[in-house]
Amino acid sequence: MTLINISQDLEFLEDTFLHKGIKNPAAVCKTDFGIAWVNRLGCYLYDGQKVDNLIEKDGRQMIDQTNWYTFAQYTPIIGYIPKKRQIIVGDGVTPAANGVIRLYDMVTRSWIFGSSGTFPDQLKTNMVRDWNDDLMFIHTSDTGTAVIWSDTAVATSALSIKTKDIDFGNPAQKKIVYKIYVSYKGDGSSTTVKYGVNGETHSSDLYAFDSANLADKSSAENLESWHVAELKPGTASQAKNIYSFQIVFGGSAGATFEINDISVVYRLKGTR
């Protein structure tokens, strides 16, 4: 990728960035923060001074490089949602893509994954904003079908929400986790909550809290109110003498289900 300065009478080459080019015009877009683009090695933002790789944060990878490389193998597509200050990346402009997406929130600097079929597996144009600042593109089904991106919530039977692997700022010191508090609203009666320790992420390596589900708040009044669930690791707790801790939500959730915050009660163990 070459950066050309056109602010003066004569244009000149200001900088060159290796391995940051794109293969298709659909892989670049404008945002409130600068120019964003995507390739198989990352998702980038140029703010007028520097280029940041958005799959990294504070010197740490947020998305595994192999995972991203596989995701973006079919010439990825990118667009910007100004109403929510989010960048959306589709896995490809070609029909060979599976319609998987990655959504980046510019405010929280976090990524959300969308499963296959989120985008149609058709040949796609680049993404543009319409008169109402909604993001849209056209694909080849029915010889040119225009679609507008919508993130309206729907019920799901395949919920998957995972926190990062939390080391509480002390990766080398052991801890004991006593309980967690989850602030939520909506129908979470079939939402399961488990935890992993020391970087374990496979489903068979997860452990249960004393309550496997959030409390049933299915009445109309309760669905609109915020509730706090207190969950403790089971009596045979694997949350003792650990280095890191991760919380995993699964199961089913209603369209109104929301999580506002999660608090962890823990203690650092003394060193000898």
pLDDT of residue 7: 78
Comparing 32-41, 196-205, 216-225, which segment has the lowest mean pLDDT? 216-225
pLDDT at 77 over 70: yes
Find tokens 């509480």 and name the residue: 168
- Rounded mean pLDDT, 65-89: 92
pLDDT at 218 over 60: no
Q: In terms of DSSP H, where are the helices of the chain?
A: 65-71, 220-223
pLDDT of residue 272: 66
pLDDT at 144 over 70: yes
pLDDT of residue 221: 52
Q: Which residues pair with 102 in a beta bridge?
A: 89, 113
- Rounded mean pLDDT, 247-266: 91
pLDDT of residue 43: 94
Structure pTM? 0.74
Given this structure, which CATH class describes domain 161-268? mainly beta
- Rounded mean pLDDT, 11-38: 88
138, 68 Cβ separation under 8 angstroms:
no
Comparing 58-72, 152-166, 222-236, which segment has the lowest mean pLDDT? 222-236
Residue 129 in 3-state DSSP? Answer: strand
Query: Percent of the chain having pLDDT more than 90?
Result: 32
pLDDT of residue 226: 87
Domain map (residue ranges) of the chain? 2-148, 161-268
Length of the chain: 272
pLDDT of residue 36: 94
pLDDT at 178 over 80: yes
String of DSSP letters for 15-61: EE-TT---SSGGGEEE-SSSEEEEETTEEEEE-SS-EEETTEETTEE
Question: What is the overall mean pLDDT for the chain?
Answer: 87
Residue 272 CB neighbours (<10 A): 3
The pLDDT tens digits for 96-142 are 888 899 999 999 888 988 887 788 888 888 999 998 989 999 998 77
